[in-house]
Amino acid sequence: MTAKQWVIPDVHGCYYTLKKLLEDRINITKEDTVYFLGDLVDRGKHSRLVLDYLMNLEKEGYNIKVIKGNHEEYFVRSYYSELTHNSTFLKKYSKDYQFWLKVGGKETVESFGVKNVKDIPLAYIKWIENLPYYYLTDKYVIVHAGLNFNKKNPFEDTNAMLVNNHFTVVPEKIGNRTVIHGHIPLSIDGIETLIREKDTYHFICLDNGCYYEKIDTFGSLLALNLDTLELTQQPNIED
Protein backbone atom coordinates (compact mmCIF):
# COMPACT_ATOMS: atom_id res chain seq x y z
CA MET A 1 0.00 0.00 0.00
CA THR A 2 1.38 3.41 -0.99
CA ALA A 3 1.94 5.86 1.84
CA LYS A 4 -0.18 8.99 1.62
CA GLN A 5 0.13 12.55 2.87
CA TRP A 6 -2.97 14.24 4.27
CA VAL A 7 -3.71 17.74 5.54
CA ILE A 8 -6.62 18.28 7.93
CA PRO A 9 -7.72 21.78 8.97
CA ASP A 10 -9.23 23.21 12.14
CA VAL A 11 -10.93 20.43 14.17
CA HIS A 12 -12.32 22.70 16.92
CA GLY A 13 -13.34 19.95 19.31
CA CYS A 14 -15.25 17.90 16.72
CA TYR A 15 -13.99 14.54 17.94
CA TYR A 16 -16.60 12.21 16.42
CA THR A 17 -16.34 13.91 13.05
CA LEU A 18 -12.54 13.64 13.15
CA LYS A 19 -12.61 9.98 14.15
CA LYS A 20 -14.97 9.09 11.33
CA LEU A 21 -12.87 11.04 8.82
CA LEU A 22 -9.62 9.34 9.81
CA GLU A 23 -10.89 5.81 10.36
CA ASP A 24 -13.76 5.42 7.90
CA ARG A 25 -13.25 7.94 5.12
CA ILE A 26 -9.50 8.09 4.51
CA ASN A 27 -8.47 5.01 6.52
CA ILE A 28 -5.09 6.27 7.72
CA THR A 29 -2.24 3.83 8.22
CA LYS A 30 1.03 4.10 10.11
CA GLU A 31 2.78 4.65 6.78
CA ASP A 32 0.75 7.81 6.10
CA THR A 33 1.70 11.30 7.21
CA VAL A 34 -1.18 13.37 8.57
CA TYR A 35 -0.68 17.11 9.03
CA PHE A 36 -3.09 19.10 11.22
CA LEU A 37 -3.44 22.85 10.71
CA GLY A 38 -3.97 23.73 14.38
CA ASP A 39 -7.09 24.86 16.27
CA LEU A 40 -7.75 21.38 17.56
CA VAL A 41 -9.60 22.89 20.51
CA ASP A 42 -12.44 25.32 21.37
CA ARG A 43 -15.97 25.91 20.04
CA GLY A 44 -16.92 22.22 19.75
CA LYS A 45 -17.81 20.11 22.79
CA HIS A 46 -15.06 17.51 22.76
CA SER A 47 -11.65 19.21 22.79
CA ARG A 48 -10.21 16.86 25.41
CA LEU A 49 -11.25 13.82 23.37
CA VAL A 50 -9.59 15.32 20.28
CA LEU A 51 -6.33 15.88 22.16
CA ASP A 52 -6.43 12.41 23.76
CA TYR A 53 -7.14 10.80 20.40
CA LEU A 54 -4.24 12.44 18.57
CA MET A 55 -1.82 12.01 21.44
CA ASN A 56 -2.71 8.31 21.56
CA LEU A 57 -2.27 7.94 17.79
CA GLU A 58 1.23 9.39 18.21
CA LYS A 59 2.01 6.89 20.96
CA GLU A 60 0.76 4.06 18.76
CA GLY A 61 3.22 5.02 16.03
CA TYR A 62 1.06 6.99 13.62
CA ASN A 63 2.86 9.84 11.87
CA ILE A 64 0.77 12.71 13.24
CA LYS A 65 2.17 16.21 12.65
CA VAL A 66 0.22 18.95 14.40
CA ILE A 67 1.00 22.65 14.16
CA LYS A 68 -0.04 25.32 16.63
CA GLY A 69 -3.10 27.48 15.96
CA ASN A 70 -4.22 30.65 17.67
CA HIS A 71 -6.66 28.72 19.85
CA GLU A 72 -3.84 26.54 21.19
CA GLU A 73 -1.95 29.77 21.90
CA TYR A 74 -4.94 31.19 23.81
CA PHE A 75 -5.24 27.92 25.75
CA VAL A 76 -1.62 27.89 26.93
CA ARG A 77 -1.50 31.62 27.63
CA SER A 78 -4.66 31.37 29.75
CA TYR A 79 -3.24 28.46 31.72
CA TYR A 80 -0.12 30.34 32.79
CA SER A 81 -2.01 33.59 33.36
CA GLU A 82 -4.40 31.85 35.73
CA LEU A 83 -1.56 30.20 37.66
CA THR A 84 -0.19 33.62 38.57
CA HIS A 85 -3.47 35.56 38.80
CA ASN A 86 -4.59 36.83 42.20
CA SER A 87 -8.35 36.42 42.14
CA THR A 88 -10.48 39.19 43.66
CA PHE A 89 -14.19 39.94 43.70
CA LEU A 90 -13.79 42.36 40.79
CA LYS A 91 -11.11 40.41 38.93
CA LYS A 92 -11.99 36.75 39.34
CA TYR A 93 -10.09 35.71 36.20
CA SER A 94 -7.05 37.00 34.31
CA LYS A 95 -7.60 39.03 31.14
CA ASP A 96 -6.16 36.23 29.00
CA TYR A 97 -8.57 33.71 30.48
CA GLN A 98 -11.59 36.01 30.15
CA PHE A 99 -10.79 36.53 26.48
CA TRP A 100 -10.29 32.82 25.79
CA LEU A 101 -13.57 31.88 27.46
CA LYS A 102 -15.40 34.19 25.03
CA VAL A 103 -13.83 32.70 21.89
CA GLY A 104 -14.36 29.01 22.59
CA GLY A 105 -12.31 28.29 25.70
CA LYS A 106 -15.44 27.75 27.79
CA GLU A 107 -16.27 24.60 25.85
CA THR A 108 -12.69 23.34 26.17
CA VAL A 109 -12.63 23.78 29.95
CA GLU A 110 -15.99 22.01 30.20
CA SER A 111 -14.66 19.11 28.10
CA PHE A 112 -12.04 18.50 30.81
CA GLY A 113 -14.67 18.54 33.56
CA VAL A 114 -12.86 21.22 35.56
CA LYS A 115 -13.83 24.70 36.75
CA ASN A 116 -10.68 26.54 35.71
CA VAL A 117 -8.06 26.12 33.00
CA LYS A 118 -5.31 25.89 35.64
CA ASP A 119 -6.87 22.58 36.79
CA ILE A 120 -6.21 20.95 33.41
CA PRO A 121 -3.34 18.42 33.63
CA LEU A 122 0.03 19.93 32.76
CA ALA A 123 0.77 17.15 30.23
CA TYR A 124 -1.73 18.69 27.81
CA ILE A 125 -0.16 22.13 28.15
CA LYS A 126 3.34 20.76 27.54
CA TRP A 127 2.21 18.82 24.48
CA ILE A 128 0.65 21.95 22.99
CA GLU A 129 3.67 24.10 23.87
CA ASN A 130 5.92 21.78 21.88
CA LEU A 131 3.89 22.09 18.68
CA PRO A 132 5.73 23.83 15.81
CA TYR A 133 4.33 26.85 13.95
CA TYR A 134 4.70 25.33 10.50
CA TYR A 135 5.97 22.42 8.42
CA LEU A 136 7.69 22.48 5.05
CA THR A 137 7.43 19.89 2.29
CA ASP A 138 9.01 20.08 -1.14
CA LYS A 139 5.93 21.81 -2.55
CA TYR A 140 4.04 23.25 0.41
CA VAL A 141 4.21 25.47 3.48
CA ILE A 142 1.76 24.04 6.01
CA VAL A 143 0.73 26.73 8.51
CA HIS A 144 -2.31 27.66 10.55
CA ALA A 145 -3.25 31.15 9.34
CA GLY A 146 -0.71 32.40 6.84
CA LEU A 147 2.60 34.24 6.53
CA ASN A 148 3.75 37.84 6.66
CA PHE A 149 5.14 38.44 3.18
CA ASN A 150 6.01 42.04 4.07
CA LYS A 151 9.04 40.62 5.84
CA LYS A 152 12.17 39.60 3.98
CA ASN A 153 11.89 36.25 5.73
CA PRO A 154 8.19 35.40 6.28
CA PHE A 155 9.13 32.60 8.67
CA GLU A 156 10.35 35.10 11.27
CA ASP A 157 6.84 36.30 12.16
CA THR A 158 5.26 33.53 14.23
CA ASN A 159 2.35 35.71 15.31
CA ALA A 160 1.29 36.09 11.67
CA MET A 161 1.33 32.30 11.39
CA LEU A 162 -1.33 32.19 14.11
CA VAL A 163 -3.65 35.07 13.22
CA ASN A 164 -2.93 36.47 9.74
CA ASN A 165 -6.17 36.60 7.74
CA HIS A 166 -5.03 38.48 4.66
CA PHE A 167 -1.84 38.05 2.67
CA THR A 168 -0.57 37.94 -0.89
CA VAL A 169 1.91 35.15 -1.46
CA VAL A 170 5.34 36.05 -2.77
CA PRO A 171 6.41 32.60 -4.01
CA GLU A 172 10.14 33.43 -4.24
CA LYS A 173 10.26 34.07 -0.49
CA ILE A 174 9.10 30.53 0.32
CA GLY A 175 10.99 28.50 -2.25
CA ASN A 176 8.13 28.69 -4.79
CA ARG A 177 5.93 26.61 -2.52
CA THR A 178 2.14 26.83 -2.08
CA VAL A 179 0.78 27.87 1.32
CA ILE A 180 -1.79 25.51 2.84
CA HIS A 181 -3.66 26.99 5.79
CA GLY A 182 -6.89 27.06 7.78
CA HIS A 183 -8.09 29.67 10.30
CA ILE A 184 -10.77 31.40 8.19
CA PRO A 185 -13.83 29.25 7.29
CA LEU A 186 -14.45 29.07 3.57
CA SER A 187 -17.21 27.41 1.53
CA ILE A 188 -16.56 24.10 -0.19
CA ASP A 189 -16.86 25.81 -3.58
CA GLY A 190 -14.26 28.37 -2.54
CA ILE A 191 -11.88 25.70 -1.30
CA GLU A 192 -12.24 23.64 -4.47
CA THR A 193 -11.55 26.76 -6.55
CA LEU A 194 -8.34 27.46 -4.63
CA ILE A 195 -7.20 23.87 -5.15
CA ARG A 196 -7.77 24.14 -8.91
CA GLU A 197 -6.14 27.57 -9.08
CA LYS A 198 -3.26 26.95 -6.68
CA ASP A 199 -0.70 27.90 -9.31
CA THR A 200 -2.40 31.29 -9.66
CA TYR A 201 -3.04 32.18 -6.01
CA HIS A 202 -0.25 30.09 -4.45
CA PHE A 203 -2.36 29.24 -1.40
CA ILE A 204 -5.13 26.84 -0.40
CA CYS A 205 -7.43 27.50 2.55
CA LEU A 206 -8.95 24.26 3.88
CA ASP A 207 -11.09 25.39 6.83
CA ASN A 208 -14.77 24.66 6.17
CA GLY A 209 -15.98 25.47 9.70
CA CYS A 210 -16.47 21.92 10.88
CA TYR A 211 -18.27 23.10 14.04
CA TYR A 212 -20.98 24.85 11.98
CA GLU A 213 -24.36 23.16 11.86
CA LYS A 214 -26.90 22.87 9.03
CA ILE A 215 -25.26 25.19 6.53
CA ASP A 216 -25.10 23.75 3.03
CA THR A 217 -21.64 24.94 2.03
CA PHE A 218 -20.02 24.82 5.48
CA GLY A 219 -19.86 22.42 8.41
CA SER A 220 -17.52 19.66 7.21
CA LEU A 221 -14.09 18.50 8.29
CA LEU A 222 -11.86 18.03 5.26
CA ALA A 223 -8.80 15.99 4.36
CA LEU A 224 -6.62 16.98 1.43
CA ASN A 225 -4.46 14.32 -0.19
CA LEU A 226 -1.22 16.19 -0.91
CA ASP A 227 -0.19 13.78 -3.64
CA THR A 228 -3.39 13.87 -5.70
CA LEU A 229 -5.05 17.07 -4.34
CA GLU A 230 -8.20 15.00 -3.86
CA LEU A 231 -10.49 16.42 -1.17
CA THR A 232 -12.39 14.15 1.24
CA GLN A 233 -15.32 15.68 3.09
CA GLN A 234 -16.87 14.52 6.37
CA PRO A 235 -19.96 16.48 7.49
CA ASN A 236 -20.28 17.35 11.18
CA ILE A 237 -21.75 14.43 13.17
CA GLU A 238 -21.29 15.85 16.67
CA ASP A 239 -23.99 15.37 19.30
CATH number at residue 47: 3.60.21.10
Would the pLDDT of 214 be above 80? no
Strand 231-235 versus strand 220-225 pairing type: antiparallel
d(C-alpha 211, C-alpha 38), whole Å:
14
What percent of the chain stands above pLDDT 90?
Answer: 94
The model's pLDDT over 162-182, given as tens digits with 9 standing for 90+, comes to: 999 899 999 999 999 999 999
Domain of 9?
5-235
CB 129 within 8 A of CB 75: no
| pTM of the complete model | 0.96
Arithmetic mean of pLDDT, 137-146: 98
pLDDT band at 24 (very low <50, low <70, confident <90, very high): very high
- Supply the pLDDT for residue 109: 98
Report the number of distinct structural domains present in the chain.
1
CB 217 within 8 A of CB 179: no
Arithmetic mean of pLDDT, 104-117: 98
* CB contact set of 178 (below 8 Å; sequence gap of 6+): 139, 140, 141, 169, 198, 199, 202, 203, 204
- Supply the pLDDT for residue 88: 82
pLDDT band at 38 (very low <50, low <70, confident <90, very high): very high
CB atoms within 10 A of CB 108: 30
